[in-house]
Amino acid sequence: MSDNKKNLFSNLKYDFPAGLVVYLVALPLCLGVALASTGRPDLLFSGIIAGVIGGIVVGFLSGSALGVAGPAAGLVVIVLTAIETLGSFEAFLLAVVIAGLIQVIAGFLNAGIIGYYFPSSVIKGMLAAIGITLILKEIPHAFGYDADFMGDQAFAQKDGQNTFTEIYNAIRYSSTGAIIISVISLGLIILFDRPFMKKIQLFKFLPGALFVVIIGIVLNLLFGAFYPEIAMSGEHLVQLPVASNPSEFLSFFKTPDFSAFTKIEVYTVAFTLAIVASLETLLSVEATDKLDPYKRNTPTSRELKAQGVGNMLSGLIGGLPITQVIVRSSANIASGGRSKMATMVHGSILLVSAMLIPRYLNFIPLASLAAILLMVGYKLSKFSLYQGMYKLGREQFIPFFVTVIAILSTDLLKGIAIGMVVAIYFILRKNYKHSYHYKKEEHRDGEVITLVLSEEVTFLNKGSIGLTLDHLPENSKVIIDGSKSLNIDYDVLEIIQEFKEHSAPMKNITVETKGIRSVSSVGGH
C-alpha cells in the first residue's frame, strides 16, 4: 500500500463517524437546495447527484483536508433564474459543464490566490454569521413549522417571509411532536458532546448524531401508533425519491442539451455560476482552514480545479452546481474529522443510501436533523469568539461585527462585500498612518525634520506623505530618508520631487534626500 493510501485510511476511526454526521446533515440539505433551485419535485435527485460528486470526486481531487463540497444554498436564486432563462433544465446542465471548465482553467491560471486576500476579521465574521443564521433558520424546523428544510440563507426570503416572521409563525403554528423530538434530540447531542461520553468505545466510532436520528424515528413511530395527532408526516420528514426498479432509478439522471451550445445565454449563465461558485468556495476554504485544529492550508488553485472537475461531471449526469460549503465543512470539523476521507465517506454513504434504502430514510424527522444543525450553529458562533475579536481592538472587531450584521440582514455574498469594504478602510487607514517615521530635532541653525520612509511605500501612502510635506514649517530643513525602503512607488517619488522643486523653495525649506531616485530616472519628466 502506498504512503498516500496509508495517510488516507490512517484516520478512518475518526473520519468514518464524522463522515456519517456530515451525511445526516447533507442529505436533507441536498434535497432542500434541489427543490428550492428547480421548483420541481421530479428533480430532487439532482441535489443528491451533486452531493455524491462533491463528496467522492471533489473530495478525492481536492487538497482540502476537511472541506466538504456539495450543492449550495447561495446558488439557489442563480440556478432558478437560469433555468427559466434557458428554457429547460437540460440546457442549464450544459451551462454547469461549461462553468466547471472555466473553473478548471482558472485553477491552472492560479486564480485561487484571490482567496489569500480575504481579511481574517471578515472570514471570522462570516463564520459567526453563518452560525447565527443556522440557529435562526433551524428554529422553525425544530418547532415543526417550515416545510423547506434548507430555509433561505438570505434575511428576506423569496416566499415573502423573512428570518423573524418565520420564527414568529413557527411559534404560532408549532407542532407538539416536533418540539418533543427537537428537545430530546438537542439534549442527546449535548450529552454526547460531553468528554465522558467520548471515552465510551461505542461512541468513538458511531457518532451521537446517528443515535439522535434513530431515536427521532422511533419517537415519531410511537407518536403515529399512540398519539397520531402529534405525529410528523409528509413535508416534515426527509423526502428522498424512491425508485421501484433499476430503470426508474437511472431515469433520475439527466444529460445536458448540447444543442443549446449556440445560445449566448448559456455562456452568460456559465460565467456567472463559475464566478459565484468560485468565490463561495474560496471563502469556505479560508473559513475551514481557520477552523482546522491542525491549521493546515488548502492549495486554493488546486481547489478550483477540483471544483471545476466536479461541476463538469455533475452537469454531465444531471446534478446541480457544486461549491465547498461551510455548514457541511464545519459539521465535519465539529464531529472530529481529520482528513479528506471523511468527505469521501459522506459521499459514499449518500450514494449507497439513495440506491438501497431511500424508503427507510424517509422516516427521519426534520426536527432531529434541525437539532444537529442547531449545535453546529452554536459552535460556529460561540460567545468566546466575540470576546476574542473584541480583545484584538477595533481594527479587527469592527469589520468582524459589521460582517456579521451585514450577512444576517442581507445574504452571504452581499454581507461579505460590505465587510470587505470596512476591513479595507481600516487597512488603508493603518497604511496611511504608518508609511513613515516622523522625527523633529532642534539645531543651532534651525529646526531639522527627518522623515524615514517605511520598507514598502505605495500609492496608498501618497496622501499621508503629501499632507505631511504640505504642513512642514517655513525656514526649516527636512531630510527625506528612503535608504531603508525596498520599494517606493512612482506616485510618491513624484510628490517628493514636486515638493523639492516647487513647494519647498516658496517656504524657504531646505530639502535633503537619501536613497531616493529622481522621477526622471524612473521614466518621469
Rg of the Cα trace of the chain?
28
Three cell numbers written together for 235: 413535508
Residue 245: CB atoms within 10 Å: 8
Q: How far apart are CA 368 and CA 188, in angstroms?
A: 10
3-state secondary structure of 512: strand
User: For residue 324, what are the contacts with CB-CB under 8 A and spacing of at least 6?
Assistant: 58, 62, 64, 67, 68, 69, 280, 281, 284, 285, 288, 303, 307
**Helix crossing, 176-192 with 366-380: angle to 10°?**
50
Compute φ and ψ for 409, nearest 5 degrees. -95, -10
3-state secondary structure of 446: strand
Query: Residue 513 forms beta bridges with which residues?
Result: 480
Beta strand ranges found along 191-266 (DSSP E)? none
Q: CA dist 170 to 129, 142, 145, 163, Å?
A: 21, 9, 5, 11
CA 267 to chain centre: 25
Burial (Cβ within 10 Å: 0-12, 13-18, ≥19) of residue 347: buried
Q: What angle do CA 472, 477, 479 make, to 5 degrees?
A: 90
3-state secondary structure of 366: helix
Q: How far apart are CA 273 and CA 321, in angstroms?
A: 8
User: For residue 300, what are the contacts with CB-CB under 8 A and spacing of at least 6?
Assistant: 112, 113, 114, 115, 116, 282, 285
Superfamily per CATH, domain 434-522: STAS domain (3.30.750.24)
3-state secondary structure of 11: coil
Three cell numbers written together for 407: 450577512
Q: How far apart are CA 232 and CA 224, in angstroms?
A: 8
| Domain ranges within the chain, ordered by starting residue | 16-163+238-358, 388-433, 434-522
Residue 452 has a pLDDT of: 86
Q: How far apart are CA 54 and CA 138, in angstroms?
A: 24
Round to the nearest angstrom and report the end-to-end CA distance of the chain.
67
Compute φ and ψ for 226, nearest 5 degrees. -115, -30
10-residue stretch averages of pLDDT, the chain, 525 residues long:
56 92 91 84 92 97 96 84 93 97 96 84 89 85 69 62 77 89 93 80 76 94 94 87 89 95 95 93 92 90 97 97 93 93 96 93 90 87 91 91 92 87 82 60 67 77 80 88 82 85 88 78 44
Query: Residue 514 forms beta bridges with which residues?
Result: 481
Positive or negative: CA dihedral 188, 19, 385, 295? positive
User: For residue 453, what are the contacts with CB-CB under 8 A and spacing of at least 6?
Assistant: 435, 436, 465, 480, 481, 482, 484, 485, 488, 516
